[in-house]
Amino acid sequence: MVSSHYHQQLIQCQQTFDIWSQYLPKCMADALSTGCDTFISCTSSSSYVGSWTSSVIVITWDPMDTKSFAKCCCEPNSMQFTLHCTTHSYDNYVHINHTFSEYCGQQNIVHDSNYNPNDRKYLNAGDISVVVVYFVLVLATGFYFRKLCIDQIEEQLADIFSPEDIWFGFRCVPIIIVGASVFASNIGSEHFIGLAGSGAASGIGVGAFEFNALIILQITGWIFLPVFIASRVCTLPEYMSKRFGGTRIRTYLAILSMLLYIFTKISVNLYSGGIFIQQALGWDLYFSVILLLVITSICTVTGGLTAVIYTDTFQCFIMIIGASVVAIKSLIEVGGLGALQEKYLKAIPSSIPSNKYECAVPKEHSFQMLRPLDDPDMPWLGYWCADQMMVQRLLAAKSLSHAQGGTIFAGFLKIFPLFLIIIPGMISRVLYTDEVACVDPNKCMQFCNSPVSCSNTAYPKLVLGLMPSPFKGLILAVMLAALMSDLTSIFNSSSTLFTCDIWPLIRKKATLTELMIVGRCFVIVMVVISILWIPIIQEMQNGELYIYIQDIAANLSPPIAAVYILAILWKRLNECGAFWSLIIGLIAGIIRLILNLIYREPVCGELDSRPNILKLHYMYFAIIVFWLTIFSAVIISFITKKTEEFRLIRTTYWTRFDERERSDEMENMRQIECQNINTENNSQTNGTLMTLSADYDIKAAKESQMKNFFQWFCGINYKKQNTRQVNENLANISSIHQTKNQKRILTSCVIVVITVAVTLFIYFSLPLSLR
């Protein structure tokens, strides 16, 4: 029942001028002839909205009798039109929409019915030339700093290094570079597509993931990272192997990592990059994806971890500057934050099927970050477990202090996405409502070739619509460069995981050439599967890319997080407890993931007939799986034998300063020595000495030019080492000692950054009336 307090409300109806000029006189005549006393007055005035001329009709009416008014204006003539209402009450708004839906039937004549995709703004020759120049600068930056760092290492180590140096980027990376690289590695094109799209669809709530990551980064730097450095590991699966022994946990983590690469990394990066190219050049999505793969394949062989870190840093600052210009210009265009708050809640597409009114209306809590426990989009209690740790870049720092300083700097940078990505996404909905906020499947297919939603086009649409010609090319170049940097890292990591952790289980005596070919072939298989997965991404989570990423991660990642936390903080956890709890958590996650594929989430406006387990929000499911894994690990560890004492040396937070020698490290030294002897005698090296990187060019023996090119293209370099050299290098890179001044300064800074995060959480969770 509508309150009598709203005796006279203004309804704002937008429609094309010619449609209104055709139907309005007839509507008024029919209203008068049927004696509608509630139809008090009707006036017309034309206005210009976007690129379409429309007429604004202001009608004064009695809200207590909406049915009579609807019957007068719609039923006699079977009028079809789109009704836009602006009232002071959300409930009244919904009530009015449902009333007109009941009496007017399909109200979908749209003011842009003559929409032509050829009218879009695309990149011109000047923009494309900027893209080319940018890539040249990025590659030059990477090569320059790569050579600079290698020269430094040559002076320090007198031309002696180990494979660990390759993994750690030679440990010559300072604080600012580490922090910027972590941020750039985390914020890629999928964030500009996904975060902006979620902002356009549901408001600032998705920004809590970024503030949460700000805090998680500090936990990584102060609790996890000291253990990883002290334990002298190169990868996280290797840490598990050191902590518990055996190979099954390491193999499990390698396989799961590759699954996550396919479902949340490669496919998502290809899809988001394809959207950028599709919107910028008007090309087909899948053709754009293939083009990205070709360019990335060419760029993959041109660097290593050190080059990528410095390239990421260059891109990080360009990205922030470019996104800042876009954000400022879009805020000016919309009239500031105050105007955005008012206009966003009115940004409703003109084409609305009769069963999708609530889907088209912006969410009531769009400007609140922490929302009610039962919020369908972002229930606040689930935020904490949705982000992953960024470790590899931190391991490249000069020291633990530099790594922790890097997490602080990256934490401050994580404040930017709310203002530089999410809010511009919301502005894009205001400026391009019909395209970005479309809910009509036919119109969505027309706008972005997706029947579910076009919210993922929010940021590209904003850049192409507001930015001047050369700047559009620069922003696209930044997005594509970040995308290819991510793909390059993923391809190298997945190839390394498969050849080092999986293939040796199948072929224990594989040659170097075989490992090289297998690694590259496996990447091709992963890419094919990822491309085939793209249509699934388009349909899951109502087309919101960033929410899709979090949904998949919530199914598969909580068991990993739980076991890592226990492994570092609880000495009693043993191999059986860790492995079987991982399996239990994985089974629970896989079951829900499979059910999600079988019972697709209904499109907004449709009845949800899925099993109850799928109706549970993915964040709450993640919490359940996390605690299920914790309880399983604790129970199984208590009923099975303890871990050998030597495996706890430097592998837990409480034993990170233990300087005793580990028996497994001594065995590794002996293996390296034997492998070097075999290398001298047989002119081939074992896969353990292989480095899938091009970070260091070694003066090789005289070989054919074709073989040299083949090895360079596949990134294979090797060098003989002796036990003493490797042992000395490991000792140098595993020190976690800090001075008192370093501890004081870093502790003060981390308190500041966490305080900022909590303050922002609170501020953006307050109702608009209290800000």
DSSP per position, 233-256: -SSHHHHHHHHH-SSHHHHHHHHH
Task: Indicate the helix (H) or strand (E) that contains 55.
Answer: strand 52-61
Q: Is 159 among the domain residues?
A: no
Read off the CATH number of the domain in which 61 is found.
3.30.70
pLDDT tens digits, one per residue of 487-518:
776 777 777 778 877 888 888 777 777 877 88
Decide: 624 and 630 in contact? Cβ < 8 Å.
no
pLDDT at 306: 52
Question: Are 729 and 760 found together in one domain?
Answer: no
Question: Are 464 and 569 found together in one domain?
Answer: yes
Q: Is 657 among the domain residues?
A: no
Which among 97, 114, 131 is the end of a domain? 114
Question: Are 89 and 124 found together in one domain?
Answer: no
Give the C-alpha distances (Å, rounded to integers) separating 510 from 10, 503, 504, 671: 77, 8, 7, 17
Question: Are 346 and 362 found together in one domain?
Answer: yes
pLDDT at 661: 82
Question: Are 124 and 63 found together in one domain?
Answer: no
Per-position b or e across 519-554, b if 16+ CB within 10 A of its CB = bbebbeebbeebbebbeebbbbbbbbbbbbbbbbbb
Number of domains in the chain: 3
Question: Are 525 and 587 found together in one domain?
Answer: yes
Whole-number Å distance between alpha carbons of 243 and 117: 57
Question: Are 636 and 681 found together in one domain?
Answer: no
Q: Is 647 among the domain residues?
A: no
Q: Is 653 among the domain residues?
A: no
pLDDT at 638: 95
Decide: 644 and 580 in contact? Cβ < 8 Å.
no
Decide: 347 and 430 in contact? Cβ < 8 Å.
yes
Phi first, then psi, for residue 124 (nearest 5°) are -105, -175
Asked whether the CA dihedral 389, 225, 494, 497 is positive or negative, the reply is: negative
For the chain, state the CA radius of gyration: 29
- Tell me the mean pLDDT in the region 248-260: 85
pLDDT at 353: 80
Phi first, then psi, for residue 59 (nearest 5°) are -120, 130
Among the listed residues 328, 327, 317, 324, the one whose alpha carbon sits nearest the alpha carbon of residue 481: 317
Give the C-alpha distances (Å, rounded to integers) separating 329 from 421, 463, 465, 558: 13, 10, 11, 40
CB atoms within 10 A of CB 448: 26
Among the listed residues 770, 762, 756, the one whose alpha carbon sits nearest the alpha carbon of residue 380: 762
- 292 token code pair: 């990205």
> Strand, coil or helix: what is 14?
strand
Read off the CATH number of the domain in which 631 is found.
1.20.1730.10
Q: Is 161 among the domain residues?
A: no
Among the listed residues 295, 627, 628, the one whose alpha carbon sits nearest the alpha carbon of residue 477: 295
Q: Per DSSP, which regions of 126-180 are E strands?
A: none
pLDDT tens digits, one per residue of 134-189:
777 766 766 666 566 555 544 544 444 444 443 344 444 567 777 777 777 677 77
CB atoms within 10 A of CB 287: 13
Per-position b or e across 569-590, b if 16+ CB within 10 A of its CB = ebbebbbbbbbbbbebbbebbe
Task: Indicate the helix (H) or strand (E) that contains 228.
Answer: helix 225-230
Question: Are 311 and 232 found together in one domain?
Answer: yes
Whole-number Å distance between alpha carbons of 99 and 105: 10
Whole-number Å distance between alpha carbons of 496 and 500: 6
Among the listed residues 589, 193, 625, 584, the one whose alpha carbon sits nearest the alpha carbon of residue 382: 625
Specify the residue for token string 């912006």: 362
Among the listed residues 382, 406, 383, 381, the one whose alpha carbon sits nearest the alpha carbon of residue 393: 406
Amino acid identity at 432: Y
Q: What's the domain range around 33?
A: 9-114
- 501 token code pair: 């952790």
Concatenating the DSSP letter of every residue in 93-128 gives: HHHHHHHHHHHH------TTTT--GGGS----HHHH
Decide: 575 and 643 in contact? Cβ < 8 Å.
yes
Question: Are 268 and 352 found together in one domain?
Answer: yes
Which residues are CB-contacts of 51 (< 8 A; sequence separation ≥ 6)? 119
Which of 41-50, 121-130, 693-702 has the lowest average pLDDT? Answer: 41-50
Which of 64-73, 124-133, 230-239, 348-357 has the lowest average pLDDT? Answer: 64-73
Higher pLDDT, 452 or 538: 452
Specify the residue for token string 């030019």: 705
Whole-number Å distance between alpha carbons of 348 and 202: 13
- CA 603 vs. chain centroid, Å, equals 22
Q: Is 536 among the domain residues?
A: yes
Which residues are CB-contacts of 227 (< 8 A; sequence separation ≥ 6)? 239, 568, 650, 651, 652, 653, 656
Higher pLDDT, 348 or 89: 348
- 577 token code pair: 């407890």
pLDDT reading at 119 higher than 80: no
Q: Is 2 among the domain residues?
A: no
- H runs (alpha helix) in 301-336: 305-334
Which of 114-118, 351-355, 569-573, 729-733 has the lowest average pLDDT? Answer: 114-118
Q: Per DSSP, which regions of 572-659 are E strands?
A: none
pLDDT at 424: 94
pLDDT tens digits, one per residue of 590-618:
999 888 888 877 777 677 778 888 888 88
Among the listed residues 472, 424, 466, 428, the one whose alpha carbon sits nearest the alpha carbon of residue 448: 428
pLDDT at 401: 84
Q: Is 105 among the domain residues?
A: yes
Question: Are 361 and 384 found together in one domain?
Answer: yes
> Strand, coil or helix: what is 79?
coil
pLDDT tens digits, one per residue of 626-678:
999 999 999 999 999 999 889 999 999 999 988 888 877 655 544 444 444 34
Question: Are 720 and 631 found together in one domain?
Answer: no
Whole-number Å distance between alpha carbons of 333 and 466: 9
Whole-number Å distance between alpha carbons of 771 and 764: 8
Per the confidence metrics, is the pTM higher than 0.75?
A: no
Task: Indicate the helix (H) or strand (E) that contains 195.
Answer: helix 189-202
Question: Are 685 and 572 found together in one domain?
Answer: no
Whole-number Å distance between alpha carbons of 126 and 90: 47
Concatenating the DSSP letter of every residue in 729-740 gives: HHHHHT-----H
Which residues are CB-contacts of 228 (< 8 A; sequence separation ≥ 6)? 236, 239, 391, 395
Q: How confident is the model at residue 49 (pLDDT cuts 50, 70, 90)?
A: very low
Among the listed residues 46, 43, 39, 69, the one whose alpha carbon sits nearest the alpha carbon of residue 58: 43
pLDDT at 632: 96
Decide: 492 and 480 in contact? Cβ < 8 Å.
no
Decide: 396 and 305 in contact? Cβ < 8 Å.
yes
